[in-house]
Structure 1
Amino acid sequence: MEYKKRYDEWLNNPFFDEETKRELFAIKDDEKEIEDRFYTSLTFGTAGLRGIIGAGTNRMNRYTVSLATQGLADTIISYGQEAMNKGVAIGYDVRHYSKEFASIAAQVLTANGIKVYLFDYLRPTPELSFAIRELKTISGIMITASHNPKDYNGYKVYWKEGSQILDDIAKEILDNINKIEDYSKIKLMDIDVAIESGLLTMIGSEIDDIYLGKVKKLSLNDDIDNNIKIVYSPLNGTGNIPVRRVLKERGFTNVIVVPEQENPDADFSTVGYPNPEDIKAFKYSEALGKKENADILIATDPDCDRVACMVKDENGDFIALNGNQTGALLVNYVLESRHAQNSIPENACIVKSIVTGDLSKAIANKYDVTTIETLTGFKHICGKANEFEVTGEHTFIFGYEESIGYVYSTIVRDKDAVISSMLLAEMAAYYKKRGKTLLDVLHELYEEHGYYSEKLISIVLEGLEGKSRIERIMDSFRAKPIKTIGEINLNRTIDYLNDKTDTPPSNVLKYYLDDGSWYAVRPSGTEPKIKIYIYSKADCEVKSKEKILDIENAVIERINSIE
Structure 2
Amino acid sequence: MNIKFGTDGWRAKIAQDYTFENLEKVSLALAITLEEENSLNKTCVIGYDTRFFSEDFANHVAEVLSGVGFDVIISDNFIPTPTLAFSVKDKSCAVGIMITASHNPYNYNGFKIKQSFGGSASKEFTSKVESNLEKIKTYKFRNEKGKIKVQNLFENYKNSILKFVDINAIKESGIKVAIDCMNGAGSGYLSSLLSDLNIKVFPVRNKRDPYFKGSRPEPIPQLLGPLSYEVFSNSLNLGTALDGDGDRVASCDASGTIFTSQQTYVLLLNHLVTSRKLKGKVLKNFAVSVLVDKLCKLYDIEFEILPVGFKYICSKMISEGNVLMGGEESGGFGFLGHIPDRDGFLSSLYLIESVVMSKKSLMEQLDEIYDKVGFFEYDRYDLKLETSVEEVRKKIRDLIENPAKKIGEKKVSEISTIDGIKYILEDESWLLIRPSGTEPLVRIYAEGKSIHEAKALIGFGRKLFQ
TM-score range, shorter chain: over 0.9
Residue 444 of structure 2 is aligned with which of 532, 541, 545? 532
Q: CA deviation at 1:220?
A: 4.7
SS at match of 1:387: helix
- Structure number with bigger Rg: 1
Structure 2 residue 246 is the aligned partner of structure 1 residue 304:
yes
Residue 366 of structure 1 is aligned with which of 283, 298, 301? 298
- Distance in 2, Cα, partners of 1:169 & 1:180: 17
Once the two structures are superposed, the pairs formed by residues 253-268 of structure 1 within 5 Å of their partners are: 254-258=200-204, 261-268=205-212
**Deviations 1:269-295 (Å, cap 9, x if unpaired)?**
2x5122111x23223233333432223
Partner in structure 1 of residue 262 of structure 2: 324
Cα pair 2:65 2:72 within 8 Å, conserved: yes
- Distance in 1, Cα, partners of 2:124 & 2:78: 29
Q: CA deviation at 1:418?
A: 0.9
SS at match of 2:11: strand
SS at match of 1:237: coil
AA of the residue aligned to 1:354:
F
- Distance in 2, Cα, partners of 1:371 & 1:488: 27
- Distance in 2, Cα, partners of 1:127 & 1:528: 33
- Considering fraction of residues, name the structure with more helix: 1
Cα pair 1:77 1:83 within 8 Å, conserved: no
Structure 2 residue 421 is the aligned partner of structure 1 residue 509:
yes
RMSD, aligned CA: 2.5
Cα pair 1:237 1:304 within 8 Å, conserved: yes
Residue 274 of structure 1 is aligned with which of 192, 217, 226? 217
Partner in structure 2 of residue 50 of structure 1: 11
Q: CA deviation at 1:362?
A: 2.3
Q: CA deviation at 1:125?
A: 0.3
Partner in structure 1 of residue 158 of structure 2: 212
- Higher mean C-alpha deviation, range 224-233 or range 126-135: 224-233
Q: CA deviation at 1:470?
A: 3.3
AA of the residue aligned to 2:67:
A
SS at match of 2:64: helix
Partner in structure 2 of residue 228 of structure 1: 175
Partner in structure 2 of residue 554 of structure 1: 460
Structure 2 residue 185 is the aligned partner of structure 1 residue 238:
yes
Residue 419 of structure 1 is aligned with which of 321, 346, 350? 346
- Distance in 2, Cα, partners of 1:186 & 1:524: 36
- Distance in 2, Cα, partners of 1:69 & 1:174: 11
Alpha-carbon spacing, 1:403–1:349, altered in 2? closer, same or farther (3 Å): same
**Deviations 1:299-357 (Å, cap 9, x if unpaired)?**
111111111122133xxxx1110001011011000111232xxxx35xx1111111111
AA of the residue aligned to 1:113:
G
Q: CA deviation at 1:187?
A: 8.5
Cα pair 1:243 1:422 within 8 Å, conserved: no
Alpha-carbon spacing, 1:411–1:527, altered in 2? closer, same or farther (3 Å): farther
Q: Which segments of 5 or more consecutive residues in structure 2 lack a partner in the other structure?
A: none
SS at match of 1:440: helix
SS at match of 1:373: strand
Once the two structures are superposed, the pairs formed by residues 13-92 of structure 1 within 5 Å of their partners are: 40-44=1-5, 47-55=8-16, 59-80=17-38, 82-84=40-42, 87-92=43-48
Once the two structures are superposed, the pairs formed by residues 55-454 of structure 1 within 5 Å of their partners are: 55=16, 59-80=17-38, 82-84=40-42, 87-180=43-136, 199-204=147-152, 207-220=153-166, 222-223=168-169, 226-252=173-199, 254-258=200-204, 261-269=205-213, 271-277=214-220, 279-313=221-255, 318-339=256-277, 344-345=278-279, 348-389=280-321, 395-431=322-358, 434=359, 436-454=360-378
**Deviations 1:493-527 (Å, cap 9, x if unpaired)?**
2223xxxxxxxxx5x22222233222211123467
Cα pair 2:241 2:249 within 8 Å, conserved: yes
Once the two structures are superposed, the pairs formed by residues 466-481 of structure 1 within 5 Å of their partners are: 467=389, 470-471=392-393, 473-481=395-403
Alpha-carbon spacing, 1:454–1:373, altered in 2? closer, same or farther (3 Å): same
- Distance in 1, Cα, partners of 2:116 & 2:7: 15
Q: Which segments of 5 or more consecutive residues in structure 1 lack a partner in the other structure?
A: 1-39, 390-394, 497-505, 537-542
Q: CA deviation at 1:466?
A: 5.8
TM-score (norm 2): 0.92
Alpha-carbon spacing, 1:409–1:249, altered in 2? closer, same or farther (3 Å): farther
- Distance in 2, Cα, partners of 1:215 & 1:264: 23
Q: CA deviation at 1:439?
A: 1.0
Q: CA deviation at 1:556?
A: 2.1
- Distance in 2, Cα, partners of 1:44 & 1:447: 42
Partner in structure 2 of residue 22 of structure 1: none
Alpha-carbon spacing, 1:410–1:527, altered in 2? closer, same or farther (3 Å): farther
**Deviations 1:96-143 (Å, cap 9, x if unpaired)?**
121122112111211111221111111000011100111111111111
TM-score (norm 1): 0.77
Cα pair 1:46 1:164 within 8 Å, conserved: no
- Distance in 2, Cα, partners of 1:188 & 1:527: 38
- List, as ranges, runs of 4+ consecutive aligned residues in structure 1 with deviation greater than 6 Å: 185-189
Alpha-carbon spacing, 1:552–1:79, altered in 2? closer, same or farther (3 Å): closer
Task: Say which structure, 1 or 2, has more relative contact order (CA 8 Å, 6+ apart).
Answer: 2
**Deviations 1:189-222 (Å, cap 9, x if unpaired)?**
9xxxx9xx65222222xx3222111111110585
Alpha-carbon spacing, 1:448–1:221, altered in 2? closer, same or farther (3 Å): farther
